[in-house]
A = this chain, B = another copy of it.
Amino acid sequence: YNVVLLPGDGIGPEVMAQAKKVLMAVSEKFGIAFNLKEALVGGASIDEMGVPLADETLELCMKSDAVLFGAVGGPKWDHLPMELRPERAILGLRKELDLFANLRPAFLIPSLAAKSPLKGEILSKGVDILVVRELTGGLYFGEPKGIKVRDDKRIAYDTLVYTEDQIRRVAEIGFRVAQNRKKKLCLVDKANVLESSRLWREVVSEVTKEFPDVELSYMYVDNCAMQLVANPGMFDVILTENTFGDILSDEAAAIIGSIGLMPSASLGDKKPYLYEPVHGSAPDIAGRG
């Protein structure tokens, strides 16, 4: 297997060095040959090549079987305009590789329960959540998007847009992973305010017919943010759009107290897929091993 390693910035290179050891151990133990190639990404790439994601790096990824991503970003590059920031690298990879389904598990590791900010009586009901976040649509990529001046005043806008196909393909992944878990899927949206959420409800209630063994429920995003803290044991799979998924998956990682340990997979219709930790580049603790 051709695997591209993109360590990135901050603690990225440190976690990547350890991940590589794990890959080599897997390789030896199970006789799987990995052909590892490393490339710069994010701030490290900006410093060396002037852009967060070089064309050669993207091509290397496209020809691979899998991409292992560390983390990008840091105060050093915060002043840069949007298109040149380290974050563009991961957003660019998601978009170019069409990785539309981001799977972010948050499960309680019993030996680490003491690290959770939640009380034992809440954890005792068990926490095993999988957030399925749509990753290539919504506010992240919607057009128009920009800041302009009108009558001498600045006005800024972003567009939250989804097509039914974009919703259907990630919903199908959501239902499929739910089938292999507790068979419960909760669509999280803001259907009492957003038109895009209304379309999500329409399409998901169509897709649910293909998966009669999975129990579908609906929840507003504000309520979900509350229930994740008050009653996390109620969730199995959470399906949601890009921005809500960004917020809720971080919250879910926090409640189990192990954001530093949570993995994530970004899937598309075909390989390569991309794998990255849920944590970021954590510049404040970088360089300490």
A interface residue numbers (CB < 8 A to B): 73, 82, 85, 87, 91, 116-119, 122, 139-140, 142, 145-147, 153-165, 190, 192-196, 198-200, 202-203, 221-223, 225-230, 243-244, 246-251, 253-255, 257, 259
Question: In terms of DSSP, what is the predominant structure of the interface of chain A?
Answer: helix
CB contact under 8 A between A247 and B222, given known A118-B119, A194-B139: yes
What would 11 A/B residue contacts be, using CB atoms closer than 8 Å?
A118-B118, A118-B119, A118-B229, A139-B194, A140-B193, A154-B164, A155-B199, A157-B159, A158-B195, A222-B249, A230-B254
Q: Which residues of B contact A246 (CB under 8 A)?
A: 190, 221-222
Cβ of B198 and Cβ of A225 under 8 Å apart? no
Known: A82-B198, A139-B160, A154-B202. 14 other contacts (CB 8 A): A85-B192, A87-B193, A119-B119, A139-B194, A153-B163, A153-B165, A156-B161, A156-B162, A156-B195, A156-B199, A225-B225, A225-B247, A225-B248, A229-B251
